[in-house]
Amino acid sequence: MTNILRNLDWIFIITTIAKACFVWGLALFFMTLNITLDRKISSFMQDRVGPNRAHILGIRLFGFILNLADGVKLFFKEDITPSFVNKFYYLASPFIIMTIALMGLAVIPIADTLTISNISIPMQVLDLNVGFLFILAITSLSVYSLVLGGFGSNSKFPLFSAMRASAQMISYEIAMGLSLVGLVMVFSTFQLGELTSRQGHLLFGIIPKWGIVVQPLGFVLFCIASLAELNRVPFDLPEGESEIIGFHTEYSAMKYGLFFMAEYANIFVAGCIISTLFLGGWQIPWLPTDTLKANSAVVLQAASALAIIGALFAAFRLHVFYKKRRYKWSDMRDYEGIFLYGALGLTVLAGLGAIIAGYIVPFNDIAAALVALVLQVSIFIFKAFIICFIIVWIRWSLPRLRYDQLMRLGWKIMLPIGIANVLITGVALLLFR
């Protein structure tokens, strides 16, 4: 037993646990952020008051406190299990959907491999050779949760909803798979880390070889299929309140809360997957990892300057907002602006400190590697956030499709376009290689 413990690669174990905790913590943070975005964007587009009135002891946190209130409410709400349900399937469904939502992040690379001395740490929890197939397999498993939830409820309307969801997911998974075939043909790899690295190459020495550049049609198909997989508008037929009751009708308290949380966590997962496959992942345009490390001080100063400019612009907008209100500090919601001013001020000071450090502090290999890591993780998170924002924005911009329109789009439009995209990609590779 002692020899086994000595032979264990403790660095691998510790770094894997740390990466898993970071990625899953990031997913849970974005889950709350996406909920707040959903409420804020809907209130903005409908010209009404958003989630800025709920408070705990006068603290609103710009609307984020409503998420905490919802969590507390669901946690302490009476948990009712109807007597007619099939308890095994009924109870398994919410745990399956939340587990699957977090498993999809295991193969996503959030940065280039971190190399310190002779130690190389891949910046993904699982560096699989079949990362593409793992993503497709995991996303397809989510349909089991919906079917089990509807079937286990032993109620006809949840079952109808679950059948709708399964038919919808099967229809759009085919188009999703076809949209990725072109990427495999272009980059000749199933490994997501290698695919992201190859997206750092330049076409004609100018344009980054991102997936959206070499496969624009595949990008559009994958984004549409992702919306359908997420059951988001305009593909939210399984939960269309005006015509059917959702598959989670018989659920209450935290069992329903897990469905709710998984939906918004899946938005972040979709953002990470789209960013990795089509937007270069952690790649910073025209700045490969070696360039970042070799010019770490200059890059850090440039990033700090951008942060300072952004903080000053945000402070100016905040000043204009409160100036219109003539700085009447009459409500706790107003006083939160003071804390925001403080955060922006600290951002400016930190940026100035980083700029000065670039001139004074000598950057060794470890510091250069850490600077490159932080910048790559930051750009990856920024890309995922943009995708999340667009997904939420679409919900309040487009109407829901009819079920026949949804099926027609999946089978008669997206499927032929996906096949045509594969054929066009094959012809282009034969001609230009």
pLDDT at 326 over 70: no
Q: Which of 150-154, 186-190, 416-420 is most confident?
A: 416-420
When pLDDT is cut at 50, 70 and 90, the band that residue 36 belongs to is confident
Q: What pLDDT, in 10s, does the model give residues 364-405?
A: 778 888 888 888 999 999 999 999 999 988 888 888 888 888
Q: What pLDDT, in 10s, does the model give residues 130-183?
A: 888 888 888 788 888 888 888 888 888 888 888 888 888 888 888 888 999 989
Q: CA 260, CA 419: separation in Å to the nearest integer? A: 35
pLDDT at 51 over 50: yes
pLDDT at 300 over 60: yes
- How much is the pLDDT for 162? 84
Question: How do strand 207-208 and strand 202-203 relate by DSSP bridges?
Answer: antiparallel
pLDDT at 257 over 90: no
- Amino acid letter, residue 90: Y
Helix (H, G, I), strand (E, B) or coil at 119: strand
- CB 282 within 8 Å of CB 111: yes
Q: Which two tokens stand for residue 96?
A: 């399956």
When pLDDT is cut at 50, 70 and 90, the band that residue 420 belongs to is very high
Name the percent of the chain lying above pLDDT 70: 93
| pLDDT (average), residues 49-57 | 71
When pLDDT is cut at 50, 70 and 90, the band that residue 331 belongs to is low
- How much is the pLDDT for 233? 82
* Residue reference for tokens 């209100």: 325
Q: CA 247, CA 158: separation in Å to the nearest integer? A: 4
Cis peptide before 234 (omega within 30 of 0): yes
Q: What pLDDT, in 10s, does the model give residues 231-251?
A: 888 888 777 666 666 788 888
- How much is the pLDDT for 386? 92
- Spatial CA neighbour of 94 closest among 77, 81, 76, 106: 81
| pLDDT (average), residues 340-362 | 83
Q: CA 356, CA 272: separation in Å to the nearest integer? A: 34
When pLDDT is cut at 50, 70 and 90, the band that residue 42 belongs to is confident
Q: Which two tokens stand for residue 167?
A: 């038919």
Q: CA 413, CA 177: separation in Å to the nearest integer? A: 15
* Chain mean pLDDT for the chain: 83
- How much is the pLDDT for 5? 46
When pLDDT is cut at 50, 70 and 90, the band that residue 325 belongs to is low
Q: CA 42, CA 51: separation in Å to the nearest integer? A: 10
* Number of Cα atoms under 13 Å in the Cβ half of residue 142: 28
pLDDT at 329 over 60: no
CA-based end-to-end distance of the chain: 55
pLDDT at 284 over 70: yes
